[in-house]
Amino acid sequence: MAKKTPITVAHGDGIGPEIMNVTLQILEAAGAALDIETIEIGEKVYLRGNSTGIEPSSWESLLRTRVFLKAPITTPQGGGFKSLNVTTRKTLGQYANVRPCVSYFPFVDTKHPNMDLVIVRENEEDLYAGIEYQLTPEVTSCIKLISRPGSEKIVRYAFEYARRHNRKKVTVFMKDNIMKMTDGLFHKVFDEIAKEYPDIPNEAWIVDIGAAKMADGPENFDVIVMPNLYGDILSDVAAQIAGSVGLAGSANIGDKCAMFEAIHGSAPRRAGQNLANPSGLLLGAVLMLVHIDQPEVAERVHNAWLRTIEDGIHTYDIFTEGVSTQKVGTKEFAAAVIARVGQKPNRLKAVTYARRPAAKAARAVTDLSTTVELKGIDVFVYWPSRDPEALAAVVGKLAGDGLSLQMIDNRGVKVWPAGRAETFCTDSFRCRYIAEGGTDQAKCVSLLARVAQAGIEIAATQALHTFDGQPGFSLAQGQ
């Protein structure tokens, strides 16, 4: 008997307990070597007054086993309750969200019969860092953070995933024609890491045309890695066009703990009636088996499930007259999968999973010898009269200590000097002060003091650095 792997299991709410029970039965029948610790999460915990939906003692189990198989939970309606998914993901540093999107045509209807792609979404950074501000009565902002270590981790994960699963290509989606620094960094890191995997073809698409191509011909893609926001949106698009949102599982991978689940929710109206389809959670469990290095068991479960789908044994949600042969409940579906353990599908493609590669590729290290120089400061100000010339007349005089007013913009469009009367201005302006020969923090602080003394409301500031001589700030449109 193989050594058992400890895992933490939560049965969740609504249909959660039913689909978890049968999922665990199928795993056992397929010979999974699991040592299961059960924790309680979700509605009951929320309603006991814990706004996170998870007890402190449950974290202890998760950090010990480092593997979490989670049934869907109900998030109570109304304010104050936090999404447990977001809490778990952030607390446990789950940087990668992995979602296979596969079509099962002709057994499940779809316009894309040959679709088989995996979205690898960065999970911690980008606009989802949640750093937002209201700058002025009219203008809000959200900071998009893309880091080199964060990009390296997710891109490397995508290539390692491709290698382990014998995937043919890794594609990156980003928008570095517009966001040259943030998405530009993501793309640059992708190109660097791709060189370490010469055996795996790679390509890059600007996200808009890439998304259009994915929606039109998903069979042309294999593994797609993306920053958080694009990945959030496009993983739903991909699951939907595969025709099988209810069948998809997903993994959240971190160095401390990985979480596996179905992508659907707790469907409370279907609960307790032996109706729910356990497939999403079961396929989430297959991802878990691969993660804990039980690929043979993952293969047995996945192939038995494919055979069941192919034999037309379907729960109500995917039942189609003429295609399905039998409409079954949750328990009967699970019994049908168990009866097929050891079998492979005939018409759908059988899956194979490999053991974890022995040696992990070396981590790239950020070059710490970078020369960083302060060149100036951007001062975001509230200027309710909206007249850039009048603002320039005031803030231009505040220059000094080598710092001079280089330009003023409004929402990224240069409005001074030589702005155009047609440009619409809000009440929030950015004044850029630059010292060609470089400056220091004390001079920037003195400048801010002069701005404040002039009675101007400062909404935000941003230091302007060069890194090895390259500007660490973008130009305004029209600058």
The binding site for ligand NAD (CB under 6 A) comprises: 15, 72-75, 85, 246, 261, 264-267, 269-270, 276-277, 280, 317
Beta strand pairing call for 313-314 and 326-327:
parallel
Residue 73 CB, shortest distance to ligand NAD, in Å, is 4
- Our CB check for ligand NAD shows the closer of 62 and 73 to be 73
- Our CB check for ligand NAD shows the closer of 12 and 419 to be 12
- Our CB check for ligand NAD shows the closer of 269 and 360 to be 269
- Our CB check for ligand NAD shows the closer of 85 and 182 to be 85
Residue 150 CB, shortest distance to ligand NAD, in Å, is 23
- Our CB check for ligand NAD shows the closer of 182 and 324 to be 324
Residue 469 CB, shortest distance to ligand NAD, in Å, is 47
Which residue's CB atom is positioned nearest to ligand NAD?
A: 265
Residue 19 CB, shortest distance to ligand NAD, in Å, is 6
Residue 84 CB, shortest distance to ligand NAD, in Å, is 7
In whole angstroms, what is the distance from residue 473 CA to residue 24 CA?
Answer: 52
Asked if 417 and 407 count as a contact pair (C-beta separation under 8 A), the reply is yes
Is residue 69 exposed (0-12), middle (13-18) or buried (19+ Cβ within 10 Å)?
A: buried
Beta strand pairing call for 470-471 and 249-253:
unpaired
Residue 49 CB, shortest distance to ligand NAD, in Å, is 18
DSSP designation for 13: S
Q: DSSP string covering 270-283, please?
A: GTTTT----HHHHH
**Tokens 């979404």, residue located:** 121
In whole angstroms, what is the distance from residue 257 CA to residue 67 CA?
Answer: 6
Residue 107 CB, shortest distance to ligand NAD, in Å, is 16
Residue 276 CB, shortest distance to ligand NAD, in Å, is 4
Nearest to 462 by CA among 435, 432, 439, 421: 432
- Our CB check for ligand NAD shows the closer of 151 and 250 to be 250
- Our CB check for ligand NAD shows the closer of 218 and 246 to be 246
Residue 152: helix, strand or coil by DSSP?
Answer: helix
Residue 74 CB, shortest distance to ligand NAD, in Å, is 4
In whole angstroms, what is the distance from residue 130 CA to residue 127 CA?
Answer: 6
- Our CB check for ligand NAD shows the closer of 54 and 170 to be 54
Distance linking the first and last C-alpha atoms of the chain:
69
Residue 191 CB, shortest distance to ligand NAD, in Å, is 34
Tokens matching residue 187: 């793309």
Nearest to 361 by CA among 221, 162, 168, 186: 162
Torsion sign, CA atoms 37, 292, 203, 150: positive
Nearest to 283 by CA among 240, 251, 314, 315: 251
- Our CB check for ligand NAD shows the closer of 75 and 228 to be 75
Q: DSSP string covering 353-415, please?
A: --PPPSSPPPPP---TT--EEEEEEEEEEE-TT--HHHHHHHHGGG-BTTBEEEEEEETTEEE
- Our CB check for ligand NAD shows the closer of 8 and 277 to be 277
Instruction: Count CB neighbours of 100 within 10 A.
Output: 21
